[in-house]
Amino acid sequence: MRFFSFFVLFIVSYVLHSQEVQWASKVIGVSSEYAQGNGAQYRPSQLLGKPNKLPQGESGASAWRSAQPDAGEEWIKVGFETPAQIRQIVIAENYGAGCVTSVVGYDTDNKEYTFYKAKPEASKRGAGMHRIWLPQLTAFKVTSLKVTLNTQLVEGWNEIDAIGISASEKPVEATINLAKNVPKELKKENLGPNVNSKANEVAPVISPDGRTIYFTRFDHPENIRTSEDYDVWYAEEKNGVWQKAQNMGKPINNAQENSICYISPDDRTALLMNIYHPDGSLSKGVSVSRKNRTGWTAPQELRLQSYVNEHSFSGFYIGPNGKVMVLSLQDGNTKGGADLYVSFQQADGTWSPAKNMGADLNTADDEFTPFLATDNQTIYFTSSGRSGYGEMDIYVSRRLDETWTRWSEPENLGPAFNTSDFEAHFTIPASGAYAYFCSSENSLGEFDIFRMKLPEQIRPVPTVMLKGVVLDQTTKQPVAAEVIVEDLDQKQTPQRIDYDPAVGDFKVVLDTQKQYGLTAQRKGYQSGGMVIDLTKETQYRELRRELLLSPIEIGRKVTLNTIGFAQSKFDLLPASLPELDRIAQMMTENGTMEVLIEGHTDNVGDFDANLQLSKDRVEEVKRYLGTKGIVGDRIQTKGYGPTRPVSPNTTEENRKKNRRVEFTILKK
């Protein structure tokens, strides 16, 4: 056995030169492992890869722990993916540091080298990076290391977070994976006495339009129960000023612990923690309440198939299209404490069994308070299993594919957002302009709600907030209707919104750089719609639109705005079919109805060719309706080419208006 002289350098730092270190990639053997807990907590595999807890060095399940504390000699042997010559060895001692007594290495021929043997006086140290320097670069390549501990040297548990090797002369140091270029100094703004009080204001949820904030208030005299009670409150922002907060009252609040975790883009659907029972009691799960003309409905259980949560905490948040839910829970598939999961709405309205979102997001410790941004790609959450500034920090990650299990490496939001205390309940509006959260620092009482400008680097992909009304084209008065929002690329399931003018505008969040068909339908009316072209939008903004519904009347002409064809051809684009299907349905329901379909073009190109193209296009519409059971003698067609423009053909925008299909009822 060859023995190398050495000296030990112990440093805790906030910088990691990850490109210069190779972390252990496999466990070859171990003396014992902690067998309690859930999933992979404290297992040997937890020390693979880079450190999870340093530089803060607190105890955590994302580290290897032997079976018993103070048991005496314990050891673990780990391998490295690429054999390498080395100059230093680093051991991330997470908790109970100071027990490492020897480090032995092995080369490609399995020859053994002693790199470190502890002196008694060198064993006392705090948590951090235990660094072993070799006098020079090894002449051989190291494939594995065996680290031996005497766990009796430090009373209590001993945890190792990571083991690494490096050929660099530069010390390998612990790190926090920070979001890039986020300013360290950002101003935290208290929402003021209209929102905050001497009581606890926690768990804020901002509406997507940023104009209403919902939160949970504890131990307030105006709660349902005047002491030791949790109620849901809300406050509205008007002209830049937050108005006085109001208790949401019954049935949202009762004498139990009430809390909100989600509000829909139109402020009409709320998710509430726990299942509400008729006797006033609550149990684990989540409930939904909807706002109608008379107020909020009694919370009803939102059915989650095979829902199990062994943790005392749970979290729920629904994506902007209402079809995807992210949640925090602990079950048999959990990697540690609470993990992040995803569930999808089924055709019957229930939600699929929760699927673990994978190791990119989840650790052997806890992941809490998931918030899915309106881009349906960016997730913010709290974790205790990653290098950070305190017990729990807030991180951001972005979805990489449609599996919902592949995510970018989570980034810490930095010291402006994260402190040495507990940070959670991060919520942002669709604009991404501000982040809202709760804190006890500089509060009016205990925990208050604050906001902070959100730097561009950690904002979600911009979206557009579309608001609007549905009007009777004749009376110009609002009418209740179903509003349908369809991605013209047909890559998303259409969203269906029940618009009730007595409750307020319809609101929906749309992705930028796409086109949408926006349609309203109501029995007794012809459906009316328009195209929302966001292909050139790159920033958040709010749009307002009016949808006009025409009563089914003989002689009324309607432009079918969502009907489109291939360039210079009469092939219907797939995005046209939903509108034509609705026409077919209306004609099926009104079996004697006869209609006229007219086609028009702009004036670009040959006149005769345009005239023929307009005829071919309306004949193609007629042919398609025939496939839906509408016989040909109920449909007349006419093509006018460029002869009947509705706008001067001087700009592309005007020419687009002239390229149209019109629909007129001839007989009811």
pLDDT surpassing 50 at residue 480: yes
pLDDT of residue 11: 29
The encoded tokens of residue 316 equal 């729920």
Give how far the C-alpha of residue 207 lies from the chain's centroid of Cα atoms, to the nearest Å.
15
Calculate what percentage of the chain has a pLDDT beyond 90: 78
pLDDT digits (tens, 9 = 90+) for 38-50: 778 999 999 999 9
pLDDT surpassing 50 at residue 2: no
- Alpha-carbon distances, residue 74 vs 68, 145, 148, 268, 400 (angstroms): 10, 14, 6, 58, 40
Q: CA angle, 196 as apex, 395 and 209 as ends, to 5°?
A: 60
Pairing of strands 594-600, 635-639: parallel
Cα dihedral 635→636→642→643 (10° resolution): -150
Q: Which helix (H) or strand (E) holds 579?
A: helix 577-589
pLDDT digits (tens, 9 = 90+) for 301-330: 999 999 999 999 999 999 998 999 999 999
When pLDDT is cut at 50, 70 and 90, the band that residue 120 belongs to is: low
Averaged pLDDT, 123-129: 72
pLDDT of residue 574: 87
When pLDDT is cut at 50, 70 and 90, the band that residue 605 belongs to is: very high
pLDDT digits (tens, 9 = 90+) for 459-468: 999 999 999 9
pLDDT of residue 83: 97
355: Cβ contacts below 8 Å, ≥ 6 apart: 341, 342, 343, 404, 405
**Distance from C-alpha of 164 to C-alpha of 145, rounded to nearest angstrom:** 9
Q: What is 235-252 written as a DSSP string? A: EEEETTEEPPPEE--TTT
Q: Please enumerate, as own/partner, the contacts of 282-288 that have beta carbons within 8 Å and a separation of 24 or more.
A: 282/256, 282/257, 284/309, 284/314, 286/261, 286/314, 286/316, 286/327
pLDDT of residue 123: 56
Averaged pLDDT, 57-80: 93
Calculate Rg over the CA atoms of the chain. 32
pLDDT digits (tens, 9 = 90+) for 217-247: 999 999 998 777 899 999 999 999 999 999 9
Tokens 């340093």, residue located: 54
Higher pLDDT, residue 402 or 1: 402
pLDDT of residue 12: 31
pLDDT of residue 16: 36
**Residue 641 Ramachandran class (φ > 0 left, ψ -120 to 50 alpha, else beta):** left
This prediction has a pTM of 0.88
Helix, strand, or coil (residue 577) = helix
pLDDT surpassing 50 at residue 3: no
pLDDT of residue 13: 32
pLDDT digits (tens, 9 = 90+) for 611-666: 999 999 999 999 999 999 999 999 999 999 999 999 999 999 899 889 999 999 99
Helix, strand, or coil (residue 610) = helix
Averaged pLDDT, 499-526: 94
The encoded tokens of residue 598 equal 């007219």
Averaged pLDDT, 113-117: 96
Among 54-63, 196-205, 324-333, the minimum mean pLDDT is found in: 54-63
Q: How many CB atoms lie within 10 A of CB 138?
A: 19
pLDDT surpassing 80 at residue 272: yes
pLDDT surpassing 80 at residue 18: no
Residue among 450, 432, 421 nearest 380 (CA): 432
The encoded tokens of residue 419 equal 């402190």
Among 117-121, 292-296, 370-374, the minimum mean pLDDT is found in: 117-121
**Distance from C-alpha of 486 to C-alpha of 630, rounded to nearest angstrom:** 24
